[in-house]
Structure 1
């Protein structure tokens, strides 16, 4: 089978995790990692395309049809039209196939993403009409095929969304939606960064809706998973999510206070958690108190690593170093409109 080029999108900041998973799970060849932009471009044998839907670190996968340069002037919209016409899009859309164009524009241009979508949509209709003798139907709400046209600074990408409108980070198990839920793609990345091995124990002592615990239970076959939260309502929601993911029997649920962690567990290999951010708690003094109490307890029971995602990274670093731990790794990621840090700490 001929190799195909895919654009894999994710949370900015975990592109290397995507590249590692694509190599291990798909046998893909990494062509380009656009660090900080949430994009990894890979080459994959056509008969392996179905495996992409099993990836845990990506939001979307796009079959790349065309890549070219583009300028920022309004007249360069003609380049969009030409690129779509020459992309071979008519192989994927017929007069009986509804479609929509989704456009993204990053950088300084004299045209908008709406302009890109309009021109690209007209070009799709023209290409399909030439090839099949009739126009394809446009359906902006429920299209059968989504054509992605992205202008990223001076580059133009035309691709087909393999999952349609579906973003693969939206797991089907999310019945209970915690108000500060962590994206499953970030939870997966944090589990990988923890260095946990199958069979070791993972705990999330502030688990909220259970995203970390559920992702760990679906990834690790033999590990002991513990999901704890001081809110009985959140633990109930986490149970619902775990039940929907069919991993409820793999997880131990505890209603408990992370500030008294050592009274609930004697030893765990790793902690992976999304603790409250200062921006959510309102008071910087209160968040420092919570972090200090929690981390002072965490270092008593954790054997291997503590992995947190937080905007309070300076406080976390200071408290852990004061407790004799070292920061092995940290990175800034995008999570909604926030830019927290993932911090990986180890003993000594």
Structure 2
């Protein structure tokens, strides 16, 4: 986002929002023939709603543009040329131009198959970086679903831009397509062969993961295997360097008892193939169950991070064998 204004108030009002938005020279950012929309956000206690913020800010943009150029701007809430973000966070007001668009950066554009509980691609990428996985190390996702973690890992190591497969960024309408093509032309990808393994219990998810990997061009470096995360000793891997996974949280597999059994059996099975120094990164909303399973199976909890994911409070655990 291009930040246009940031202010703090003792007690922010709708008048403050109108004045702050009105003072910006919108003719620098919106062409006469273009449409715009306000995307408001309000966090905290106020005597107005986010809808009120959107209405007041939108009117301020229209009035300011009319005053500057004597032209009435078009509003298009569904498919605007320019998206303006107006965020009221407690007593702070943040006004900016959205350069991404309504589809967040986690929307990569490569999915041919959607797992019913696939991991947010941005979070998957962050987990890979958190794991400190090296190019020559073996990375295992024992509950890989549609392959998001493995695909993001391959993209990182092969220097494939996460936005390569999208063509709908808002900044294209702002600055033109040439800037995007210019950036793409400067990126040098590679064809490293990596040691990536994904285990998945259901054949249809494996087939979907392969399609996703093929879309990205990394299917040649990911080994997808139909198997059980609680019987990892049967997959043929004798050792791994890094484990990253997003296990089921219980919503679709039958409740907490099944989650408890899965987590305990998985961590027990992992000990049969993992190096003593293997780094294990797990994201789950069932943090108490995971924590108990780690203790029961003699894993050391090195770090914990809180992550809000899809409306759920999740925890990212970094474990090591004791």
Q: TM-score per shorter chain, which class? A: 0.7 to 0.9
- 1:336 equivalent in alignment to 2:310: yes
Aligned residues: 285
Kept after mapping to 2: 8 A contact 1:87/1:158: no
Structure 1: which 5+ residue stretches go unaligned? 1-61
* TM-score, normalising length: structure 2: 0.85
> 2:205 matched to 1:238?
no
**Greater mean alpha carbon deviation, residues 215-224 or residues 329-338:** 215-224
Provide, for residues 74-113 of structure 1, a one-character-per-residue CA deviation record: whole Å limited to 9, x for no partner.
xx21111111112333310122111100000000011111
The reply to whether residue 324 of structure 1 matches residue 298 of structure 2 is yes
Contact 2:260-2:293 within 8 A present in 1 as well: no
**Does 2:230 match 1:291?**
no
What is the CA deviation profile of residues 289-322 of structure 1, one whole-angstrom value per residue up to 9, with x for unaligned ones? Answer: 1111111111222232111111222232233233
**Residue 164 (str. 1) matches residue 101 (str. 2):** yes
2:237 pairs with 1:300: no
Paired position in structure 2 for 1:134: 71
Correspondence for 2:284: 310
Please show how residues 150-161 of structure 1 align to structure 2 within 5 Å.
Answer: 150-161=87-98
Matches within 5 A, 1:170-249: 170-221=107-158, 222=192, 223-249=194-220
Greater relative contact order structure (CA < 8 Å, 6+ sep): 2
Shift of 1:72: 5.0
Preserved contact between residue 124 and residue 149 of structure 2 (Cα < 8 Å): yes
Q: Deviations over 1:125-165 (max 9, x none)?
A: 12222222212211111101000001000010110001232
In structure 2, distance between residues paired with 1:198 and 1:131: 56
TM-score (ref. length: structure 1): 0.79
CA distance in 1, matches of 2:259, 2:296: 17
Q: 1:89–1:216: structure 2 CA closer, same or farther, 3 Å change rule?
A: same
Counterpart secondary structure, 2:281: strand
Describe the SS at the equivalent of 2:263. Answer: helix
Q: Is the 8 A contact 2:198 2:222 kept in 1?
A: yes
Q: Answer whether contact 1:81 1:119 (CA < 8 A) is retained.
A: yes
SS state at 1:302 partner:
coil
Give the corresponding residue for 1:111.
48
